Structure 1
Amino acid sequence: MPHRDLLETMLERQEVLADFADLALQSEDLDEVLQEACRLVAKAMGTERAKVLEMEAGDESLLVRAGVGWAAGVVGHVRLPMDKHSSETFAINAGEPVITRDIAQEERFDVPRFMKDAGIVALVNVPIFLPRQRAYGLLQVDDTRPRDFDQHDSAFLRTYAGILGPIVDRLLKLRQLRSTEERFRLTVEAATDYAIFVTDAEDRITDWLPGAAAVFGWSAEEALGQSAAMLFTPEDRAAGVPERELETALREGSAPDVRWHLCKDGSRVFIEGTRRSLSKIAGNGFLKIGQDVTARRLTEERLSAGEERLRLLSELVPALLWQTDGSGDGMTFNARAQEYLGWSAEQQMQAGDWLDAVHPEDREAAERVFAEAFRSGRPLEHQHRLRGSDGQYRWFLVRQIPWHDDQGQLSQWFGAAIDINELRQFQMRQDVLVAELQHRTRNLIGVVRSIANQTMAHTGPSEAFREALDHRLEALSRVQGLLSRAEQEPITLRRILTLELDALGAEGKRVVLEGPSVRIRPSRVQTLALALHELATNARKYGALSQTGRQLSVTWTVRDSPTGRWLHIAWCEEGVTGAPTDQPSAPPEGGYGRVLIERALPYALGAEVTYALDPGGLRCTIELPLDPPDSLRSI
């Protein structure tokens, strides 16, 4: 639980304790007090059921003395045996809480039948002790849902039971003794916790209750007759705090007592309480009531220190940081953001105000992205330029994430803008460099074509060689063109096919392309494109694109497998009878195109290839992984 929520919960529970104490001190009916104790603790813990179990004479059974949320016939009637299989007995004997988060998985203790019938799933109980550690019974909270009761829950219940014990002890005694001195009545009625003692007019301790002994460590025998100033720290005594507190209580009737106090063993506890002046009837002394809130105080100090560390850390991070409420209003920024944007620390920006700092060309897109994030509650990531206090714009990578409270409600947004101006400039220079390399690569292909032509002129003409080489170099050039635009235009299988078939002048009606949009990795484009070029060239020379009435069909699908996604390509030329008889026969192992398709594709891309020419036509299938393992090589 976040520190802020934890603190709020603790404060709410303190209010419950105070409400219970006020009610308990106004009532002399034990049943009424126990019933209200169950109601308040169920409210504080967010459950529908709670109960108090009272040990009966002989310590052999526990009576459900009070409770809320139970069916008729349970409270005041159900008794539980105190045996070794009982979590209630264990808690009382061990003097510590028992937590069961899911009784279906509980193997330590037996769960009573009436609780199972009521649908109880989770529970936490704490023993109730009377002064001098006399066991009275048990306070138990039950829930019909699995519940992750934690140390804060058990600590609260132990405090609650610690208050309940002395109150139960008082009410039990009041059954036998109905009248009491006003001093005792005032002490009990004013109590908000159990660290209570009384002093005389000279501030000497006259009554030292068990709660005070538990908090400060001195027994009643040790404390009686001593000055209450012994509880103040040395620095407070040196500063005259005890005397000023006494004077304020005499003058105004009460004085706050909220500070660190000293214990018998030298340790310190933080007490939140008051000193009240008593009437003459009560002895002309003072009543001091203090609540040990050391744990809460330390939590507050840790929270404050944590917030300071977080503030310092945010100043060390080289980023502009901000937070807003759930709707995007009330934006607050760290010092670095204020310095860069030129805003003052007192300035609180509302939704839309920050857009003034966004570059005009980026403003519409930035506004749209943020509006969609606030509407959908999803994180965002965007790049845009922000104007600094010097009037210059720089590129920033902007990220913003939502934060939800315990009820799942979006209550805040946290954002960061990281300066990527140098990175963007580097990427722009890199794009220029890549474009230049692609241009030079295509020029180099032209040089290779020229050299090949000159070589062929000296070694003898071979028109078939020149034509084949030209076509393959042109295919390479087209591939390089695709790769040069890969950042702006993702390379898809349809784009590669269209490029190759258009280059051969294939007519639209004779070619059918069908399949989903599939992106091809740039590292795999060249080999796949050359293979498709060979198939397309063969179709133009000897296949479906060269014979009247024939049709070329290229279809592809994507399937998932345990090893990743696979692309299935089916190249079909219907009714093709093969190469004309006057064409030179290919070598037994096949020509360059066949070798490229049947050998290079499996080697370079991990593909599975079939190639068949029969009376029905030509059919070539290529299956290759879209998510190749690192071991695959490229050529």
Structure 2
Amino acid sequence: MPDLERMMKRQQVLADFGALANRSQDLDNILAEACRLVGEALGTGRAKILEILHAERQLLVRAGVGWDPGIAGKLRMPMEEHSSETFAIEAAEPVVSQDIAKEDRFEVPPFMKEAGVVALVNVPVFRPGGQPFGLLQVDATEPRDFGEDDIQFLRTYANILGPVIDRLLVVSTLRSTEERFRLTVESALDYAILLSDPQDRITDWLPGAEAVFGWTAEEAVGQPAAITFTPEDRESGQDRWETETARKEGVAPNVRWHIRKDGRRVFIEGSTRALRDPDGTLLGFLKIGQDVTERREAAERLRESEERFRQFGEASSDLIWVRDAETLQIEYLSPAFEAIYGESRETVLSGDTLQRWADLIHPDDQKRALSMIHQVRAGERVMNAFRIVRPSDGETRWIENTDFPLLDDAGRVQRVAGIAKDVTEARMSAARLEVLVHELQHRSRNLLGVITSVASKTLGDEGASSGFQARLQALSRAQGLLSRFGSDTAEVGALVRAELEAHTEVGMPKVVVSGPKVLLTARQVQNFSLALHELTTNAVKYGALRDGTGQLSVTWTVDRDEKDQRRLTLDWIESGVDLPSGTAVRRGYGRHLIERALSYALRARTEFVLGEDGVRCRIQLPFE
């Protein structure tokens, strides 16, 4: 091709590429077209552009023409020290190889050899400022002597390509930044962001402002920014003060109640900032504020709650305390501490508060009291009592403590807390009362013994006197059980076993006694124990316990009657008994007591049946 024609063609390539670069914003498209044009201009039909990936120390074949589809945009290769590409980048000038088979300056990547490349020229591409972007590489599949005119053309081409690449990369970065900014601004719906002109009329109303204040952009733009201020703030001139302060000082705080379109109020924490151009001319104002209404109201509720807790703690005669679960340091200690422990709060709240508290506990109770704290720390709720020795008067006092964990939203123990009271007087009263009850029970049994003795002396030991004495002894046993169970209750099973043991040595398997733990009141116990006495003595004289040949089953359950009230149902069942003649018609005191007295005194229902092989009795007693 004549030199003039070749020169004109290359000028046309440069013009075509310049036109493309002016109208296109697609970097990949421009680079691909640049490869096509340069391949045609040099007559090789094969060219590529390699981009330096600095972080990875690699080269990416960013675009190419005349190469397999798996090369352009996909192939990466390391920037090895002896590669032709690295050699050209470090040389910062074109590098030509007329025949790579004879090349000893650098190594050629294997994929190029496999593709039949014989000759090549590498031209570095720099962005403005000298920052290397990569290489323009023209390849030939036969030996080629790239002349000076080829080299100068490629240098010119690379010098044009560098600024084009730089512009498009900057545009891409700016576009990406703007998109991220737009997405960020539009997503920040709890931030009201708006722009106003120098007269403080709204020019831009972003989605956050609509979400916070309720007006749409169409409704807000053109309105004074003061529409968001409360009537009282507009009347006092707060809106004007804010813009004037921003005008003079650059920024003004905007932390106050504002008003929404629907009339509701929102609390905003934000600022108003003056916007100026480089010569200082005021362009308008940027207003950014966060809706913190819920946070403020929650903080107010928390403050009120803490105040109520403080008032409660200070008014309570019981001690209230709270510790940090991790450090076990006391965070709150109510004033009742001083009255109960006889020590000032300031003394205990200084230093290691756990140790200072432990020092006030009686030495014999310290280990147990501290273990309770650690149990609560592990999530348990515990109640314990321990003694303290008050420093103020040296007196030993009993403290009853209820400890419980306080959990965070995730269910973890965040604090441990407790309520303590001085129960010294209550314990002393209980102890005195217990002594009195035992004494009363003792005197009652003594009185029954005296009555038994008088009856024996007066009436003798035979006949009616014997039965009378036996019933007094049954009442005495019941009194003993009442004393054992706490003076006002006795357990059904204990009553049954005590009565049987008083009259017979027959045990399992002839006698079966079973049922749940049920407590009867003192009023029920006396009549119930007499009924058990009559059943037992009758079984010993005539029934299952007479000679050991029969069997006795005494069982009881707790159920409900037709009015859904709880009741005790006891079944006394004898079997295997050879009854003497005439026994079936006998109706003595015992049967009268069971069938009549229990019904009258305790509202009980009874069934007494004297069958062929023994007595069957059912007593249904409502609970009091």
1:479 is aligned to: 478
Q: Deviations over 1:179-219 (max 9, x none)?
A: xxxxx99x97998733524364xxx5254555779859997
Residue 319 of structure 2 contacts residue 419 of structure 2 at CA under 8 Å; is this kept in 1?
yes
TM-score by length of 2: 0.55
TM-superposed CA distance for 1:305, in Å, is 2.6
Aligned-partner SS, 2:519: coil
Aligned-partner SS, 1:278: strand
Aligned-partner SS, 2:335: helix
Q: Deviations over 1:228-273 (max 9, x none)?
A: 99996899979x9877665553xxxx56543456999999753211
1:273 pairs with 270, 273, 280, which one? 270
Aligned-partner SS, 1:550: coil
Corresponding position: 1:436 with 2:431: no
Structure-to-structure mapping, 1:315-464, within 5 angstroms: 315-324=314-323, 329-336=328-335, 338-339=337-338, 340-341=340-341, 342=343, 343-344=345-346, 346-347=349-350, 354-363=357-366, 366=369, 375=378, 377-390=379-392, 391-453=394-456, 455-456=458-459, 461=460, 463-464=462-463
TM-superposed CA distance for 1:400, in Å, is 3.5
Q: 1:475 to 1:277 in 2, by over 3 A?
A: same
Percent sequence identity over aligned pairs: 33
Q: 1:265 to 1:539 in 2, by over 3 A?
A: closer
Corresponding position: 1:514 with 2:513: yes
Match for 1:593: what amino acid? G
Q: Using the alignment, how far apart are the partners of 1:224 and 1:505 within structure 2?
A: 102
Structure-to-structure mapping, 1:582-597, within 5 angstroms: 590-597=587-594
Match for 1:572: what amino acid? E
Larger Rg: 2
TM-superposed CA distance for 1:483, in Å, is 0.7
Structure-to-structure mapping, 1:43-62, within 5 angstroms: none
Aligned-partner SS, 1:205: coil
Aligned-partner SS, 1:272: strand
TM-superposed CA distance for 1:319, in Å, is 1.6
Q: Deviations over 1:353-391 (max 9, x none)?
A: 75554444555655566655555x454344444444534
Q: Using the alignment, how far apart are the partners of 1:309 and 1:432 within structure 2?
A: 43
1:574 is aligned to: 576
Aligned-partner SS, 1:496: helix
Q: 1:500 to 1:359 in 2, by over 3 A?
A: farther
2:200 pairs with 205, 211, 215, which one? 205
Residue 257 of structure 1 contacts residue 271 of structure 1 at CA under 8 Å; is this kept in 2?
yes
Aligned-partner SS, 1:300: helix
Q: Using the alignment, how far apart are the partners of 1:271 and 1:629 within structure 2?
A: 65
2:616 pairs with 615, 620, 623, which one? 620
Q: Using the alignment, how far apart are the partners of 1:417 and 1:496 within structure 2?
A: 39
Q: Deviations over 1:58-114 (max 9, x none)?
A: xxxxxxxxxxxxxxxxxxxxxxxxxxxxxxxxxxxxxxxxxxxxxxxxxxxxxxxxx
Q: 1:363 to 1:533 in 2, by over 3 A?
A: farther
TM-superposed CA distance for 1:596, in Å, is 1.6
Residue 607 of structure 2 contacts residue 619 of structure 2 at CA under 8 Å; is this kept in 1?
no
Aligned-partner SS, 1:577: coil
2:16 is aligned to: none
TM-superposed CA distance for 1:431, in Å, is 1.7
TM-superposed CA distance for 1:304, in Å, is 1.8
Structure-to-structure mapping, 1:243-254, within 5 angstroms: 248-249=249-250
Give the total of aligned pairs. 426
Q: Using the alignment, how far apart are the partners of 1:528 and 1:492 within structure 2?
A: 11
Match for 1:334: what amino acid? L
Q: Using the alignment, how far apart are the partners of 2:469 and 2:226 within structure 1?
A: 113
Residue 403 of structure 2 contacts residue 419 of structure 2 at CA under 8 Å; is this kept in 1?
yes
1:10 is aligned to: none
Q: 410-419 or 518-527, which moves further after superposition?
A: 410-419
1:53 is aligned to: none
Q: Deviations over 1:45-67 (max 9, x none)?
A: xxxxxxxxxxxxxxxxxxxxxxx
Q: 1:362 to 1:326 in 2, by over 3 A?
A: same
Q: Deviations over 1:273-314 (max 9, x none)?
A: 133343415943542323343443233223323322222222
Q: Using the alignment, how far apart are the partners of 1:481 and 1:559 within structure 2?
A: 25
Structure-to-structure mapping, 1:132-211, within 5 angstroms: 193-194=191-192, 196-198=194-196, 200=198, 204-205=199-200, 207=202, 209-210=204-205
Q: Using the alignment, how far apart are the partners of 1:389 and 1:265 within structure 2?
A: 64
Match for 1:500: what amino acid? E
1:168 is aligned to: none
Residue 254 of structure 2 contacts residue 268 of structure 2 at CA under 8 Å; is this kept in 1?
yes
Q: Using the alignment, how far apart are the partners of 1:558 and 1:466 within structure 2?
A: 35
Q: Using the alignment, how far apart are the partners of 2:441 and 2:579 within structure 1?
A: 40
Residue 201 of structure 2 contacts residue 221 of structure 2 at CA under 8 Å; is this kept in 1?
no
TM-superposed CA distance for 1:324, in Å, is 4.2
Match for 2:599: what amino acid? P
TM-superposed CA distance for 1:482, in Å, is 1.0
Match for 2:313: what amino acid? S
Q: Using the alignment, how far apart are the partners of 2:351 and 2:295 within structure 1?
A: 31
TM-superposed CA distance for 1:442, in Å, is 1.9
Match for 1:446: what amino acid? G
Q: 1:518 to 1:629 in 2, by over 3 A?
A: closer
Q: Using the alignment, how far apart are the partners of 1:419 and 1:369 within structure 2?
A: 18
1:530 is aligned to: 530
TM-superposed CA distance for 1:597, in Å, is 2.2
1:504 is aligned to: 503
Aligned-partner SS, 1:301: helix
TM-superposed CA distance for 1:594, in Å, is 1.6
Q: Using the alignment, how far apart are the partners of 1:406 and 1:490 within structure 2?
A: 46
Match for 2:273: what amino acid? R
Structure 1: any 5+ residue segments left out of the alignment? 1-177, 179-183, 631-635
Residue 325 of structure 1 contacts residue 412 of structure 1 at CA under 8 Å; is this kept in 2?
yes
2:597 is aligned to: 600
Match for 2:282: what amino acid? N
Q: Using the alignment, how far apart are the partners of 1:351 and 1:231 within structure 2?
A: 53
Match for 2:304: what amino acid? A
1:223 is aligned to: 224
Q: 1:612 to 1:304 in 2, by over 3 A?
A: closer
Q: 270-279 or 590-599, which moves further after superposition?
A: 270-279
Q: 1:578 to 1:334 in 2, by over 3 A?
A: farther
Two-structure CA RMSD over aligned residues (Å): 4.8
Residue 397 of structure 1 contacts residue 420 of structure 1 at CA under 8 Å; is this kept in 2?
yes
Q: Deviations over 1:488-544 (max 9, x none)?
A: 997433322332233335244685233144233233222222111222223333444
Residue 510 of structure 1 contacts residue 550 of structure 1 at CA under 8 Å; is this kept in 2?
no
Q: Using the alignment, how far apart are the partners of 2:257 and 2:282 within structure 1?
A: 26
Structure 2: any 5+ residue segments left out of the alignment? 1-174, 176-180
Q: 1:591 to 1:231 in 2, by over 3 A?
A: closer
Q: Using the alignment, how far apart are the partners of 1:225 and 1:422 within structure 2?
A: 68
Bigger RCO (CA 8 Å, 6+ sep): 1
TM-score by length of 1: 0.55
Aligned-partner SS, 2:593: helix
Q: Using the alignment, how far apart are the partners of 1:594 and 1:191 within structure 2?
A: 89
Aligned-partner SS, 1:463: coil
Aligned-partner SS, 1:529: helix
